[in-house]
Structures are given as structure tokens and as C-alpha cells.
DNA sequence: GCCGATTTGTCCGTATGTATC
DNA sequence: CGATACATACGGACAAATCGG
């Protein structure tokens, strides 16, 4: 039996919007109509619509209907946003990636690192630095801290392929929530040596915490991106006061 | 009668988390307990919890409970993120702002501008360029396009105070959805002349579309931020496949 | 390992309010 | 004014995960 109906409806509507079956500025069928179409309750339809609204795909207009506000974006640079990993983004764009591990250590969290990352002092961590290449170009200098107790058995070899795959497939731990901060910083000598920055003297820095399905923070990330291949997307919705 | 209960519960829980009444990593009371506390149905409690999860404040653990994952962030730079305006952010941080209008024109959207902004060719627009000062320092070079038909009577004087206030208070139009893209770009001569960039040769650029409560895009924004006072925050949650 | 209690996840049907047309 | 559409809220049912005995 198709449990998780709301997700099926969500995916169906999303696909229909992306393929322009429902066009920009057009109204979706009414909620009651969708109840008939998808053979479900109105609550379930509304849940799917709510998810689309969170994605910035539609907007509900009280008493009128639900309007499509999605427009495909034209971008030639590498897209970030959401909780996707580097590998996933690359695969979605059909691009080739290489990862080179430039440092792999085991460290203990101290006071200073604790304030920066949110780990507790005394936590045992893996410290990994990697350069990410897309189509042969070095684009990202990635620094990761992993909680050793939750990501046991991490090796340099794994770090060279995909740590997230290892975590989700081998350890069967789900990555759920991710908090990210974006800033622009001056280039450091390390950036210079690993990335081909041309005449840029700054780069985009994304830092963030990642939580697993137990609500435990198991990763802190610090990514330094070459400006010309960086783009970060979000959509926000106004909250009722 | 207190309609919109879910929002009251949401605000109450959020406040209790921010004041550490519910601490980091602690479990919230169970949903059924909250049903008693707030005298409402379980659905209503769940809705409030869902909003907190979207904010990255809590995480639900199937069969276990709801865990607080919120940690206060320490930042001395100017925070962006969500749908807040420059003025609102500044006020929240108790800072003084000045806005100088450097250009104010009425234009018609052409093909090229249409592709960039998402407005339709032929749309009548206001074109506004402003420099934003925080505590006397020029931080942001803001370029806005407003759909004249939806923001009638916009003047240079209004642009100097707060356009958003004008839109929401005078025109009684609500701002609902906002799509933003963050990139890093090379400095232009215009940036040099308006902002005090020191030795930065790049800056943070945020572009975005804003929709009103009718689902009509009425604004396109292009903001160029001095790197040292820029920080953009988001939180993402993994979708079920 | 099993069982029952607890807790969250999904889904339904219904009632009522409010905005639009 | 009535019909339609979305918004809020309730209560109930069952599934699935967890935990303690």
C-alpha cells in the first residue's frame, strides 16, 4: 500500500511544475479537486502544497487558489544550497569530480575549537582537509571535523571517495539537519597553494554543522570556494507574526 | 478566541529554547504532554514543532521524542538570511542606519532585463540605487527594480527611508516569498566609489525576487555587500526521498 | 527475545472560519 | 447572497520506532 502519500503527491506536483505542465503564474487545481485526483484527504493534499511552498514553487492565496511562482533559473556556475553534498551536486550536473586528501589527523577538541564548532571540549575528532576538483579544476578547499565516536573507522581512502556515502551506506546513519553560514573572506596562503584563484583575493566561505537522525551533531564543515564557481540558493517565506 | 493557536505555541516554545529553559540536546515534553499543556489537539502541537524543525531549532526522533539542537551563534558581523530587510536587521541589532539614494529612474523592461530579473518585457519599473550605511560606514550598494503597477507612488524620499515599510504599511501589501541567490563577484568601479572596500577586490552579491501575497513578483533586488560585514545564514532539512 | 507502554509518523473525516468571486 | 477556495483546529485510527521489564 502506498503509505507516504503526501510525498508522492509532492513529487508529482513538483515534476509537473518543472516540466511546465503547470506554468508560471498558473493556478493549481483546487485542493478539493486534488482530493479526487489523488484519492486522499484534504490534509494530505495541503501537506504536499505546503512543501512546495517551502521550496518557493507555489504560493497559496486565501480564497483564490494556489499559484505557481516557480521559474527555472539559468546558472552556469556550481550550485550549492539545501543539504546536498559536493558529489551529489556534481552528479546532478553530470560533471566529473576528483577529491585529494591533503591532511588527515585525529585530534581532541579544545576550548577554542569548541567555541568555533559547537563540539564539546574533550571530544575525539577526525580532522580532514581535502581539495575538490570539478572537471579538473580545483574549486573547493574543504575542512571537516567528524565526531570519531559516530563516524568510526574513517580512513584517508574513504575521505578520497565520499565520506557522506560511507556514513549513509556503511554506517547507516541518516543526515538530517544542516545549519550553514556564508561569508566572504580574504585569501590565505593555503588557499593560494591549493586553488587556482587568478586575481581574486577573496573567496566564499561556507561553514556549518550537520546533525544525524539522533539529533547529534557529528560534523563541522568549513568550505572555501573559488568565487567564479560558487552560487548559493535559498528561498524564504514570511512567518505569521 | 485565540485562533492561530499553533503560532502561539510555536512562539512560546521558541522563546523557551532561546532562553535555555529547554537546553541544547534536551528533549521537549512529549506531544501528548503538550496537548495537555496548551489545551489543543496533537495536530496543532505537531505543526508548531514542525516550524521549529524548519528553523533548525529542534529535531524529531521517531519513537523517542523531540530534541533541541539550537545553539546561539556568536557573530559580530551583519546578519542576513530569511526575508528580513536591511532596516529590520539593523533595528534588531540596535544599530543606526542611513540610506542615500544615488539613482532613481522609471524604466521599461526589455528582453535582456527580463531574462535577468524575471519581469516581463514591457513591464513599467522603478529603478532605484541606494547606498546603505550602518553606523556611518557604507556597507551595501543596493539596486532595486519595482513593478510600478504594484508599488505606485514610490518617490526618492520614500526610498531614503524604507520602501518595505511603505509597501507594507501604506499600500497594505504583504511580502510573502523571497528567492535569493548568493555569489561572490569582482569589484566594479561603481562599488569602489560608493563603498569603502579597503583591499578587497571582491564582494558578496545577493540577488533575489520578492513576491507579494497575490503571488506576483513585484521586486527584483541586487545587493552588493562589503565582505567584512556580511554573513548569510540558512538551515536545511533533508527531504524524504 | 518478547511484550506492552510510550512516542512520533501518516492519514482520514469533519467542523468552522474567512477571503474571494 | 451563495458558492467556492483556502486556513485553522479537532479527534480518532493505525503504523512504526523505541524502551523498559
Q: A83 and A211 in contact (C-beta within 8 Å)?
A: no
B143: β partners: B129, B222
pLDDT at position B154: 92
- The model's pTM is 0.88
Instruction: Tell which residue, A56, A74, A49, A229, has the closest CA to residue B217.
Output: A56
- The tens digit of pLDDT for each residue in A36-95 reads 999 999 999 999 999 999 999 999 999 999 999 998 865 555 555 555 666 666 777 778
Preferred mutation among B14, B57, B238 to probe A, highest tally of A CBs within 10 A: B238
Query: What's the gap in Å between the CA of B211 and the closest CA on chain A?
Result: 8
pLDDT at A160 over 50: yes
Contact across the interface for B176 and A238, Cβ inside 8 Å: yes
pLDDT at A175 over 80: no
pLDDT at position B1: 43
pLDDT at B221 over 50: yes
Kindly give the residue spans of alpha helices, DSSP state H, lying in chain B: 5-18, 31-38, 42-54, 86-92, 111-117, 156-160, 163-165, 189-194
Contact across the interface for A182 and B231, Cβ inside 8 Å: yes
Contact across the interface for A232 and B232, Cβ inside 8 Å: yes
Torsion over CA of B105, B108, B114 and B119, rounded to 10 degrees?
A: 80
pLDDT-wise least confident of A128-132, A177-181, B50-54, B174-178: B174-178
Any atom of strand C under 7 A from CB of B28? yes
Chain B CB contacts of A237 under 8 Å are: 83, 176-178
- Provide the pLDDT confidence category of residue B85 given band limits of 50, 70 and 90: low
Q: Which nucleotides of D are covered by protein (CB under 7 A)?
A: 4-13, 15-19
Name the residue in chain B with its Cα closest to that of A182: B232
Residue B63 Rama label (left phi>0; alpha psi -120 to 50; beta): left
How many CB atoms lie under 10 A from the CB of residue A93?
11
pLDDT at A210 over 70: yes
Residue labelled with grid coordinates 547507516: A172
pLDDT-wise least confident of B29-33, B83-87, B228-232: B83-87
**Candidate from A175, A200, A236 with C-beta closest to B83:** A236
Instruction: Tell which residue, A165, A101, A152, has the closest CA to residue A126.
Output: A152
- Provide the pLDDT confidence category of residue B2 given band limits of 50, 70 and 90: very low
- The tens digit of pLDDT for each residue in B101-147 reads 999 999 999 999 999 999 999 999 999 999 999 889 999 999 999 99
DSSP class of residue A171 equals S
How many CB atoms lie under 10 A from the CB of residue A236?
19
Chain A CB contacts of B236 under 8 Å are: 81-83, 177-178, 180
- The tens digit of pLDDT for each residue in A89-145 reads 677 777 888 999 999 999 999 999 999 999 999 999 999 999 999 889 999 999 999
Q: Residue range B2-28: average pLDDT?
A: 93
Q: In what order do the strands lie in the sheet with A231-237?
A: A79-80, A231-237, B175-186, B202-212, B217-225, B137-147, B124-134, B97-108
- Please give the Cα distance from B89 to A232 (Å, whole number): 21
Residue labelled with grid coordinates 586575481: A199
Which has the higher per-residue pLDDT, B18 or A163? Answer: B18
pLDDT at A211 over 80: yes
- Provide the pLDDT confidence category of residue A231 given band limits of 50, 70 and 90: confident
What phi and psi, each to the nearest 5 degrees, are found at residue B199? -100, 10
3 state SS of A108: strand
C-alpha cell at B35: 496537548
Chain B CB contacts of A59 under 8 Å are: 176-177, 211, 215
- Provide the pLDDT confidence category of residue A176 given band limits of 50, 70 and 90: confident
Query: What's the gap in Å between the CA of A127 and the closest CA on chain B?
Result: 22
| Helices and strands in chain A: count of H runs, count of E runs | 8, 10
Amino acid at each position: 500500500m502506498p503509505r507516504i502519500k503526501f510525498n508522492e503527491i509532492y513529487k508529482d506536483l513538483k515534476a509537473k511544475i518543472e516540466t511546465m505542465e503547470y506554468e508560471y503564474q498558473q493556478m493549481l487545481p483546487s485542493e478539493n479537486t486534488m482530493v479526487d485526483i489523488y484519492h486522499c484527504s484534504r490534509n494530505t493534499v495541503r501537506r504536499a502544497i505546503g512543501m512546495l511552498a517551502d521550496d518557493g514553487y507555489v504560493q497559496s492565496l486565501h480564497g483564490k487558489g494556489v499559484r505557481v511562482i516557480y521559474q527555472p533559473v539559468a546558472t552556469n556556475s556550481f550550485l550549492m544550497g539545501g543539504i546536498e553534498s559536493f558529489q551529489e551536486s556534481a552528479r546532478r550536473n553530470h560533471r566529473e569530480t576528483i577529491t585529494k586528501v591533503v591532511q588527515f589527523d585525529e585530534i581532541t577538541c579544545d576550548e577554542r575549537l569548541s567555541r568555533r564548532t559547537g563540539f564539546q571540549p574533550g571530544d575525539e575528532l577526525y580532522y580532514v582537509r581535502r581539495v575538490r576538483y570539478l572537471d579538473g579544476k580545483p574549486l573547493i578547499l574543504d575542512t571537516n571535523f567528524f565526531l570519531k565516536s559516530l563516524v568510526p573507522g574513517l580512513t584517508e581512502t574513504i575521505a578520497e571517495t565520499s565520506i557522506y556515502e560511507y556514513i549513509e551506506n556503511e554506517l547507516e546513519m541518516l543526515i538530517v539537519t544542516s545549519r550553514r553560514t556564508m561569508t566572504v573572506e580574504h585569501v590565505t596562503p593555503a588557499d593560494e597553494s591549493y586553488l587556482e584563484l587568478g586575481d581574486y583575493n577573496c573567496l566564499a566561505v561556507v561553514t556549518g554543522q550537520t546533525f544525524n537522525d539522533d539529533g547529534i551533531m557529528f560534523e563541522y564543515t568549513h568550505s572555501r570556494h573559488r568565487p567564479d564557481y560558487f552560487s548559493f540558493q535559498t528561498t524564504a517565506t514570511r512567518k505569521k507574526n
